[in-house]
Amino acid sequence: AAPALAAPALARGFAAAGLPSTMKAAVVRECGPADALAVETDYAVPALPEDGVIVANQYAGINFIDTYHRKGLYPRELPFIGGQEGGGTIAAVSDKAAAAGYKVGDRVAYSVFQTYAEFTAVPTGKLLPVPDGVDMDVAVCCPVQALTAHYLTSDAHAGLIKPGEWMLIHGVGGGTCQWAAQMAKIQGYKVIGTTSEAKEHVARGTGCDELIVLKNAPNATFEDYTSVDVAAAVKDITGGEMAKAVIDGIGLATWEISLNSLGRRGIFVSFGNASGTVPAFEPLKLIGKSLFMTRPKLLDYVENREKLLRRAGDVFQWIKDGKLNVSVDRSFPLEAAADGHKYLESGASTGKVLYKI
């Protein structure tokens, strides 16, 4: 757990006076496999931002994008603390943060870099107040995974699908798309989900109208998409209409399946690379049904605080109303940082994977 902080240490100002000078953190000094994520106990505590706070983290979310940073697929300046999703209580506030209404002890979640650590510096514009009735482990699932699912199902499709039409979502047995399937149903879409046999019991809890169950892919983080003709199944389910939108975080193994599963003027929303990146392809591949394709990212859908709070407000309210079932699969101690990445990449997870700080 984070070091205990005496009350006088939690004074506001432009330096986090009284906080420890060093902390425990999971650090990448050279890109590579999961063991490149090494836990250090003497990493410098971040400086208090002029317009921000220091959060004493209770949990940090583990997301596939963290593994892309660790591997160097999405380059970052070395060394760096892993993670970009966390939550806990505010341990120090700047004068500007205090003027904005934040105070020591407030429960917050957030998404910034460097969350695999006891303390994180967070600008006020990135803070999400955690409402009463929402546990911190659940709240930490929201800033990346839940907000990603929110924009994917509400906006990334550019309105090319309407409520009552079919949406195909790959991998609804775990991770972001477990959220996305539930959110798509809340918003009135008819949902076809793909899942593996091993995760079928989880996928059925998402409320999908139809499930396409595939064989388990050995030694992979995704289903065996060669075991079932997914596009043919979609055609049968929809009576030949096909899907108006496909949400695809699998990538290399599914991109052609996704295109083939779309109906006229449908949209392929490619947001992840679980099986490898989607290769470059000729735009003429889209001409048969006048298809659309987008490769979005979360930051472009929470580009201002108003949109961030609107999306987070929807998510937290759906949780409180019992409309969203948030599944925390496992919480690893930060000391086992590499094990957390290995578990996520193994494909064994059936819900959110966290570090308990």
Alpha-carbon distance of 82 to 198, in angstroms, equals: 29
User: If pLDDT is split at 50, 70 and 90, which confidence band does 47 have?
Assistant: very high
User: If pLDDT is split at 50, 70 and 90, which confidence band does 11 have?
Assistant: very low
Lowest mean pLDDT among 55-69, 154-168, 216-230, 303-317: 216-230
Q: Which candidate, 192, 190, 148, places its Cα nearest to that of 168?
A: 192
Q: Which candidate, 300, 254, 297, places its Cα nearest to that of 278?
A: 254
Per residue in 241-270, pLDDT (tens digit) is: 999 999 999 999 999 999 999 999 999 999
Q: What is the model's pLDDT at position 159?
A: 98
Q: Which candidate, 103, 85, 83, places its Cα nearest to that of 93?
A: 103
- Residue 158 carries which DSSP code? T
> Residues 125, 126, 128, CA angle at the centre, nearest 5°?
105
pLDDT of 220 over the 90 cut: no
Encoding tokens for residue 329? 């699969």
Task: Provide the percentage of residues in the chain whose pLDDT is more than 70.
Answer: 95
pLDDT of 6 over the 60 cut: no
Q: What is the model's pLDDT at position 347?
A: 81
**348 residue type, one letter:** A
Q: Which candidate, 249, 217, 181, 212, places its Cα nearest to that of 346?
A: 217
Helix 147-154 to helix 176-186 angle (10° resolution) is 50
Per residue in 315-352, pLDDT (tens digit) is: 999 999 999 998 899 999 999 999 999 999 988 888 89
Phi-psi region at 219: left, alpha or beta (left = phi > 0; alpha = psi -120 to 50): left
Q: What is the model's pLDDT at position 42?
A: 97
Q: What is the model's pLDDT at position 109?
A: 98
Q: Which candidate, 161, 198, 158, 204, places its Cα nearest to that of 181?
A: 204
Q: Output the average pLDDT for the chain.
A: 93
